[in-house]
């Protein structure tokens, strides 16, 4: 968790400075436009969280469909995180701009890693991610904060090879 005052965020934005900070479980990066947008939407004290989820700490406000999908993701041993911003005690989900988030991921197929937002109806929204091998994670830009999973796109099935010999047509039976 990181808590900052709106005054500090506004001062950075007005000086056209970006803010990047690392939490225990990820990284936030906010450009001046994002800082101003957050300042306009939120109260005086703003807190940022990235928290890995497990069966033991699932948020109480998840729908049954979200829980079912998240448990399926856990069964595949893929990481799931909740990303939150609070204005005082109010949870903020929708942002009017994109922010940059890095979530840690050192699993298989890192170069093919993608990020999904888990929707209340159990569907997902895919976010293009970029592997940051130096920091060991996947960087993406959400405009909505929620529960996110990291996975990878399975290899596309290969096309069957063309036969090396021409195939002779089968003669039609004579009548």
Q: pLDDT by residue (tens digit) across 49-94?
A: 999 999 999 999 899 999 999 999 999 889 999 999 888 888 888 8
Structure tokens at 53: 């989820």
Mean pLDDT along residues 102-121: 82
What pLDDT does residue 83 have? 93
CB 36 within 8 A of CB 7: no
Phi then psi dihedrals of residue 69, to 5 deg: -65, -45
For strands 80-87 and 147-152, give the pairing.
antiparallel
**Is the pLDDT higher at 112 or at 104?**
104
DSSP code for 94: B
Cα–Cα distance for residue pair 161/56, rounded to 1 Å: 48
Cα–Cα distance for residue pair 10/43, rounded to 1 Å: 12
User: In which band, very low, low, confident or very high, does the pLDDT at 149 lie, cut at 50, 70 and 90?
Assistant: very high
Give the dihedral sign, CA 79/99/86/132.
positive
Residue with tokens 């399926």: 72
Mean pLDDT along residues 156-168: 43
């Amino acid at each position: 968790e990181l808590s900052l005052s709106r005054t500090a965020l506004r001062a950075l934005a007005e000086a056209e400075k970006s803010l990047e900070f690392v939490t225990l479980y990820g990284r936030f990066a906010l450009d001046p436009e994002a800082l101003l947008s957050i300042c306009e939407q939120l109260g005086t004290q703003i807190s940022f969280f990235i928290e890995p989820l497990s069966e033991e700490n699932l948020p109480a406000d998840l729908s049954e469909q979200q829980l079912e999908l998240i448990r399926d993701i856990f069964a595949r041993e893929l990481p799931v995180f909740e990303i939150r911003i609070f204005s005082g005690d109010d949870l903020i989900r929708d942002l009017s701009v994109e922010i940059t988030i890095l979530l840690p991921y050192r699993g298989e197929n890192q170069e093919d890693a993608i990020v999904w937002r888990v929707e209340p109806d159990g569907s997902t929204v895919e976010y293009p991610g970029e592997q940051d091998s130096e920091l060991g994670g996947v960087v993406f830009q959400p405009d909505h904060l929620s529960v996110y999973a990291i996975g990878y796109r399975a290899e596309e099935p290969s096309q069957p090879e063309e036969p090396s010999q021409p195939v002779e047509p089968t003669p039609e039976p004579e009548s």
